[in-house]
Amino acid sequence: MTKPCIDIETFTWSNLQADIYRGQHANAMRLYLESAVTPALDAIDARLDELLRTDEPAAVFQVADVKALRNSTIQAFALSVQSQWERQLRGFLKDCASEFNHPAVFVDALEKANWAELLKRFQELRGLPLQAFESFPDLDLLQQLGNACRHGDGNSARMLYERYPELWPNWPPALPAGWAGPALPNVSNHPPFSQVCLRRSRLVRLTDAVIWFWEDHTYIYTNSIERKNSNVDAALARMREERARRSR
């Protein structure tokens, strides 16, 4: 998908009441990452490191269980991040639609709109495509990943594999070099979702994508203030510096 030629740093819109305080979503997601995700995964990683270092015979059997726990925990956090992001986005769009006096049926439909419909409504209501945001590729992945986590094997998981096969590093299965045993039976073109492998770095990146989206929203809101003063100009300069320091 080609990124629209819209520069977030120069784009402006007509500010709404719905735009105010949305930066709190970025703060909430950052707090969630620092206070929930990081401590939990640090504890699991510490236990795994302990098992890998010990000479206890039983440790080798526990390593696989702890690795599976880490992967399932990352999946659970990814689903949580996606759920929070989706609620934030739907709430924002519903507030915008209400402020523009759209009928109740239009506003209510946003609660059940799918991802493609939400993208369409965002552009209609705020005048630019969500694809223009730097974080969109990861937000798009986050949405697909959340759907696959909810539904398991099915269309969502197949679409996820087709677009992001690197999430299944051990698929298709391969026999060891020099294997003299029977050949593998026919395998499916699509791996089971249970074999997806989410790295901690990927989870952090997806959470950052939500944070950066709301930070960019705040930047557009601030830049759209018609009567700027020195404080507004300083805030914009600070936000531009922060955007320039982002690491993809």
The predicted structure's pLDDT at residue 4: 74
Rounded Cα gap, residues 32 and 65, in angstroms = 26
Q: Quick one: pLDDT at residue 191?
A: 86
Domain membership of residue 178 (yes or no) is: no
Whole-number pLDDT of residue 239:
95
Largest CA distance in the chain: 76
> What does pTM read for this prediction?
0.90
Burial class (CB in 10 A: 0-12, 13-18, 19+), 123: middle
d(CA 25, CA 210): 8
Query: Does any domain span residue 85?
Result: yes
Q: What is the domain range of residue 75? A: 17-172+190-226
Angle at CA of residue 96, ends 94 and 102, nearest 5°: 80
Please say whether the beta carbons of 8 and 130 come within 8 A: no
| Residue 128, in any domain of the structure | yes
Please report the pLDDT score of residue 134 as a whole number. Answer: 93
pLDDT along the chain (248 residues), means of 10: 80 96 95 97 96 86 92 95 97 97 97 96 97 96 92 87 89 66 64 89 96 97 95 96 84
Radius of gyration of the chain (CA): 22
In a domain, 125, yes or no: yes
Instruction: Report yes or no on 177 lying in a domain.
Output: no
**Quick check: is 179 in a domain?**
no
Assess if residue 233 is contained within a domain.
no
- Tokens found for residue 113: 């709109």
- Residue 2 belongs to a domain: no
Number of domain units in the chain: 1
